[in-house]
C-alpha cells in the first residue's frame, strides 16, 4: 500500500482544525487588548463548530483507519469528536460570563482547544502509543486550566490534579510497556491476536495499569479523588470542562481497550462491573453530605462514570453496548453543563440553602436547574433516561442482571441529593434569604447556556430514535 494512503492525514481534519484553532487563539490573543478578547472566543467557537461539522459529514461515509491503522475513524470516534467539540462550545458560553475581560482569557480558551484535541485523539486511538499521546495532550492543558481560573484554591486543586495525573500517567505507561513486551507491538489488532495466548496474570497487570490511567481521565474509582476537589476549588468554567469533556475520550478509549483485551477472557466484564458499582455507590453516597453545589456535582460526576461504565460490561454480548454508551455520553454532557451553567449564573451562591426562593426571583433559571438535575437523575423524557435505560438493558443482555438493578437503585439514590439542591429553589423565601442578582450583565451568557443545554437535553431525549440510528454504526480496529 502507498505510504500516503497509509497515513491519510486528512482523516484527522477535525483534530487539526481544533489544534490549529488553539494555536491561533494562543498567539493572536497576545496581541489583543483585554476588551477585545471576545475575538479569541469567537475563533475558538468557530474552530469547534467547524470540527463538529466536518466530523458529521465524515460520519456519513464508511469507517477508515489512519496512520497505518493506529487511529480509527469510525462511529465511536465520530461521536466522540462531535460530543467533545459541542460540549466545549457550550463551556465557552459559561466562560463568556466568568472569564470575559480577565487577563488569562485567551490563554484559557487555547488550553480548552488543546485539551479537546487530546480528548479526540483518545477517542480514536487504536494503538497504545497513540493512546499515550492523547492522554498527555488531554491532561497537561487540564492542569493549567484548573490552576488559572481558581485563585489560591484553584492552585491547590491544580496541584492535587497534577500529582494524581502524573501518577496515573506513569501507571498507564507502565501498562503499555507490559503489554508491548507480551505482544511485541502496540496496535490493537496485534494485541487482539497475541494476548489470548500470553500469560493471563501479566496481561491482567498491563491492562489494569492502562485502565487505571484512563479512569483518571474519566474521573472514576479508584483515581477519582481529584474530581470533587477540583470542581469545588477551581473556577466554574474549568469545573464544567473537567467534569464533562475529558470523559468523552476516556470512556471510548476504555471501551476499545476492554474490547481488545477481553478476547478469549471473560473476566474483564466482571472487573469493569465492579469498578462501575464502586463508582456509582461511592459517588452517590459522598454527594449526600455536600453543601457546596459544585462539590456536589463533582461527586455526581464520579457516580455518572459508574453508569457510563455499565455498557462496557456487555461488549460482545449486546448490540446496545456501544450506542448506549455514546448516547449516554451526549446526554450526560448536556445535563452536566446545564447544571454547572446555573451555578455560573449565580456565582456567589456556594451553599445549597442559598438557592431558597430562586423560583420567585429567577423562575427561568429555577426551571432550568430542575431540568438539568432531573436530567442527571434520568427522568423521562430527558436524554439521560434513554441512556440509563439502554445501558441497563445492555447489562441485562450481557448476563449482568444484578448490575441493571444497581443502575436503578443508584438512580433513585441520586434523586435525593439533587432534591436538596433544587428543592429550596421552590420554597418561600425566608426573611434572611439571599438576594439573587438580576438577569443580564455578565451572568446572561451562563444563563443562556444553561437554557440551551436544558432544551437540548429535552430535544435529544425526544428525538432519541433518530440519533440512535447514527450511533449504531460499526467500530474499526
Predicted local confidence at residue 441, as pLDDT: 66
Q: What average pLDDT does range 448-452 have in this prediction?
A: 95
Q: What average pLDDT does range 19-48 have in this prediction?
A: 89
Sequence-separated (6 or more) residues with CB below 8 Å from residue 124: 71, 72, 73, 74, 76, 77, 80, 81
Predicted local confidence at residue 66, as pLDDT: 84
Asked whether residue 217 carries a pLDDT value surpassing 60, the answer given is: yes
Asked whether residue 452 carries a pLDDT value surpassing 60, the answer given is: yes
Q: By the 8 A CB rule, do 78 and 329 touch?
A: no
In whole angstroms, give the CA distance from residue 54 to residue 15.
10
Half-sphere exposure of 197 (CA within 13 A, CB side): 5
| Local confidence band at 9 (pLDDT 50, 70, 90 cut-offs) | confident
Q: By the 8 A CB rule, do 398 and 269 touch?
A: yes
Task: Pick 467 or 10 by higher pLDDT.
Answer: 467
Closest listed residue to residue 125, CA positions, set 53, 73, 166: 73
Cell numbers that stand for 171 in this block: 501507571
Predicted local confidence at residue 5, as pLDDT: 42
Q: 74: exposed, middle or buried (C-beta count within 10 Å: 0-12, 13-18, 19+)?
A: buried
Q: Which of 178-182, 379-383, 464-468 has the lowest mean pLDDT?
A: 464-468
| Local confidence band at 433 (pLDDT 50, 70, 90 cut-offs) | low
In whole angstroms, give the CA distance from residue 344 to residue 92.
12
Question: pLDDT for 50-60, tens place per residue?
Answer: 999 999 998 88
Asked whether residue 98 carries a pLDDT value surpassing 50, the answer given is: yes
Asked whether residue 477 carries a pLDDT value surpassing 60, the answer given is: no
Rg (CA), the chain: 21
| Local confidence band at 20 (pLDDT 50, 70, 90 cut-offs) | very high
Predicted local confidence at residue 444, as pLDDT: 87
Asked whether residue 4 carries a pLDDT value surpassing 50, the answer given is: no
Closest listed residue to residue 244, CA positions, set 287, 304, 307: 304
Give, as one character, the DSSP assignment of residue 36: G
Q: What average pLDDT does range 103-124 have in this prediction?
A: 94
Closest listed residue to residue 394, CA positions, set 302, 327, 300, 476: 327
Give, as one character, the DSSP assignment of residue 346: S
Mapped onto helix, strand or coil, the DSSP state of residue 262 is coil
Q: By the 8 A CB rule, do 432 and 305 touch?
A: no
Q: Which of 118-122, 324-328, 434-438 has the lowest mean pLDDT?
A: 434-438
Q: What percent of the chain has pLDDT over 90?
A: 73
Q: By the 8 A CB rule, do 290 and 343 touch?
A: no
Asked whether residue 143 carries a pLDDT value surpassing 80, the answer given is: yes
Predicted local confidence at residue 475, as pLDDT: 66
Task: Pick 97 or 55 by higher pLDDT.
Answer: 55
Q: What average pLDDT does range 78-93 have in this prediction?
A: 96
Alpha helices in 184-235 (DSSP H): 188-194, 200-218, 226-233
- From residue 72, alpha-carbon distances to 84, 100, 118 in Å are 17, 37, 15
Q: Which of 129-133, 332-336, 468-472 has the lowest mean pLDDT?
A: 468-472
Mean pLDDT of the chain: 91
Asked whether residue 2 carries a pLDDT value surpassing 50, the answer given is: no
What pTM, to 2 d.p., does this model score?
Answer: 0.95
Query: Which residue(s) pair with 73 in the sheet?
Result: 64
Domain ranges of the chain: 1-265, 267-477
Predicted local confidence at residue 86, as pLDDT: 97
The two beta strands, 64-66 and 71-73, are antiparallel
Predicted local confidence at residue 65, as pLDDT: 86
User: DSSP readout, 363-432?
Assistant: HHHHHHHHHHHHHHHT-TTSHHHHHHHHHHHHHHHTT-HHHHHHHHHHHHHHHHHHHHHHHHHTSPP-TT
Predicted local confidence at residue 69, as pLDDT: 85
Mapped onto helix, strand or coil, the DSSP state of residue 187 is strand
Question: pLDDT for 229-244, tens place per residue?
Answer: 999 989 999 999 999 9
Asked whether residue 317 carries a pLDDT value surpassing 50, the answer given is: yes
Mapped onto helix, strand or coil, the DSSP state of residue 318 is coil
Rounded to 5°, the CA angle 363-364-366 comes to 65
Instruction: Say if residue 381 is preceded by a cis peptide, omega within 30 of 0.
Output: yes
Predicted local confidence at residue 3, as pLDDT: 42
Amino acid at each position: 500500500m502507498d505510504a500516503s494512503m497509509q497515513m491519510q492525514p486528512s482523516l484527522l481534519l477535525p483534530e487539526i482544525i481544533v489544534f490549529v484553532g488553539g494555536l491561533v487563539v494562543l498567539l493572536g490573543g497576545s496581541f489583543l487588548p483585554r476588551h477585545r478578547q471576545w475575538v479569541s472566543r469567537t475563533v475558538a467557537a468557530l474552530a469547534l463548530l467547524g470540527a463538529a461539522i466536518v466530523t458529521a459529514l465524515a460520519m456519513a461515509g464508511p469507517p477508515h483507519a489512519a496512520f497505518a491503522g493506529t487511529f480509527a475513524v469510525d462511529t465511536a470516534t465520530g461521536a466522540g469528536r462531535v460530543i467533545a467539540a459541542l460540549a466545549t462550545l457550550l463551556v465557552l458560553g459559561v466562560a463568556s460570563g466568568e472569564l470575559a475581560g480577565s487577563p488569562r482569557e485567551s490563554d484559557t480558551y487555547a488550553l480548552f482547544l488543546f485539551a479537546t484535541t487530546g480528548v479526540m485523539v483518545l477517542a480514536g486511538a487504536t494503538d497504545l502509543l497513540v493512546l499515550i499521546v492523547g492522554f498527555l495532550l488531554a491532561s497537561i492543558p487540564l492542569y493549567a486550566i484548573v490552576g488559572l481560573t481558581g485563585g489560591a484554591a484553584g492552585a491547590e486543586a491544580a496541584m492535587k490534579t497534577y500529582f494524581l495525573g502524573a501518577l496515573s500517567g506513569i501507571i498507564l505507561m507502565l501498562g503499555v510497556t507490559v503489554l508491548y513486551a507480551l505482544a511485541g507491538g502496540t496496535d490493537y489488532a496485534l494485541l487482539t491476536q497475541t494476548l489470548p495466548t500470553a500469560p493471563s496474570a501479566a496481561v491482567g497487570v498491563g491492562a489494569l495499569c492502562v485502565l487505571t490511567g484512563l479512569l483518571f481521565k474519566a474521573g472514576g474509582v479508584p483515581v477519582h479523588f481529584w474530581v470533587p476537589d477540583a470542581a469545588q476549588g477551581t473556577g466554574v468554567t474549568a469545573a464544567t470542562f473537567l467534569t464533562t469533556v475529558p470523559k468523552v475520550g476516556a470512556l471510548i478509549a476504555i471501551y476499545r481497550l476492554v474490547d481488545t483485551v477481553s478476547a478469549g477472557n471473560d473476566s474483564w466484564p466482571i472487573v469493569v462491573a465492579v469498578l462501575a458499582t464502586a463508582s456509582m455507590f461511592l459517588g452517590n453516597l459522598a454527594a449526600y453530605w455536600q453543601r457546596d453545589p459544585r462539590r456536589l456535582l463533582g461527586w455526581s460526576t464520579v457516580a455518572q462514570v459508574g453508569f457510563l461504565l455499565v455498557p462496557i460490561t456487555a461488549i460482545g454480548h449486546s448490540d446496545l453496548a456501544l450506542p448506549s454508551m455514546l448516547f449516554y455520553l451526549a446526554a450526560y454532557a448536556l445535563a452536566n453543563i446545564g447544571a454547572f451553567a446555573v451555578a455560573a449564573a449565580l456565582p456567589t451562591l456556594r451553599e445549597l440553602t442559598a438557592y431558597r426562593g430562586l423560583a420567585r426571583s429567577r423562575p427561568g433559571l429555577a426551571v432550568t436547574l430542575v431540568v438539568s438535575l432531573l436530567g442527571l437523575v434520568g427522568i423521562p423524557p430527558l436524554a439521560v433516561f434513554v441512556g440509563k435505560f439502554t445501558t441497563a438493558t445492555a447489562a441485562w443482555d450481557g448476563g449482568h442482571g444484578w448490575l441493571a438493578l444497581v443502575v436503578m437503585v443508584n438512580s433513585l439514590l441520586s434523586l435525593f441529593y439533587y432534591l436538596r439542591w433544587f428543592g429550596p429553589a421552590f420554597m418561600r423565601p425566608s426573611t434572611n434569604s439571599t438576594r439573587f442578582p438580576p438577569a443580564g450583565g455578565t451572568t446572561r451568557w451562563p444563563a443562556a447556556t444553561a437554557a440551551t443545554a436544558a432544551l437540548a437535553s429535552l430535544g435529544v431525549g425526544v428525538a432519541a430514535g433518530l440519533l440512535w440510528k447514527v450511533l449504531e454504526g460499526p467500530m474499526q480496529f
